[in-house]
Amino acid sequence: MTYKYVFIDLDDTLWDFHANAKSSLQEMYETRKLGQFFDSFEQYFSIYAKRNAELWEEYGKGTISKAELSLERFLHPLIQVGIDNSALAVEIGEEYLKMLPTRTALVPHAKELLEYLYPKYPLTIVSNGFIEVQYKKLNSCGLERYFSHVVLSEAAKALKPDKRIFEYAMQLNNAAKAEDCIMIGDSYEADITGAINAGIDQVYFNPASDAADKKATYRIHSLSEIFNIL
């Protein structure tokens, strides 16, 4: 299949969200002296990460708002140790969002992949991430120059897996047809299901090599495998 446009997710597809988030949270944990409430940073991070993943899933389904996600993911760990303090949770969240986009860890082979794709295709980021951090992430790690467009759910007024965010991306790319596009992403529920909903071929990036029953046009365990696809 010959493609003309490549859509790519940002978090945990190119930009190592897990590593960058953990680094930011550890710094915030230390500056805020949260060790007085938790046994260890790992305890705090484990509670946070589990609830954060649940909240992002709810946000993707449209069942909670951005504001609810932003508050609850930081309030929840505090409540688990007996601190019901929304004001503190808001302060922690604001501090975290300032730190996070300055981190620059990338997924292995991300830079090489973009160097390979950039001369061949117009590249578009398609992300559910917040406007106030996604552009800063791209700038901080030097990736912005590779992309013709950055499509974020808040601007598109639709969250992956809603096909409308992909249709918005196609419209920006010269009203591209679905068959001319391909989506690369690590989230089956958001990226792959969303692309399927829009009639777009998919590259499912699954480093863990699990979920063998989930169907996609292509399945990869390393970004370097895309060199043999595109």
H/E element, 227: none
Residue 102 CA to residue 39 CA, distance in Å, equals 28
Classify residue 219 as exposed, middle or buried by CB count within 10 Å of its CB (0-12, 13-18, 19+): middle
- 99-129 pLDDT tens trace: 999 999 999 999 999 999 999 999 999 999 9
- Find the mean pLDDT for residues 24-50: 96
pLDDT digits (tens, 9 = 90+) for 159-199: 999 999 999 999 999 988 999 999 999 999 999 999 999 99
For the sheet containing 5-8, what is the strand order?
149-152, 123-127, 5-8, 181-185, 201-205, 218-220
Average pLDDT of span 192-215? 91
Q: What pLDDT does residue 5 have? A: 98
User: 125 with 165: CB under 8 angstroms?
Assistant: no
**pLDDT at site 55:** 96
Q: Where are the domains of the chain?
A: 5-16+106-228, 17-102
Query: 5-16+106-228: which CATH number, 3.30.950.10, 3.40.50.1000, 3.40.50.300, 3.40.50.2300?
Result: 3.40.50.1000
114 close to 121: Cβ distance less than 8 angstroms? no
Is 17-102 assigned to CATH 3.90.1300.10?
no
54-95 pLDDT, tens per residue?
999 899 888 999 999 999 999 999 999 999 999 999 999 999
| 8 Å CB contact between 110 and 147 | no
Whether residue 50 has pLDDT greater than 90? yes
Quote the tokens at residue 75.
């309030």
Tell me what pLDDT residue 210 has. Answer: 76
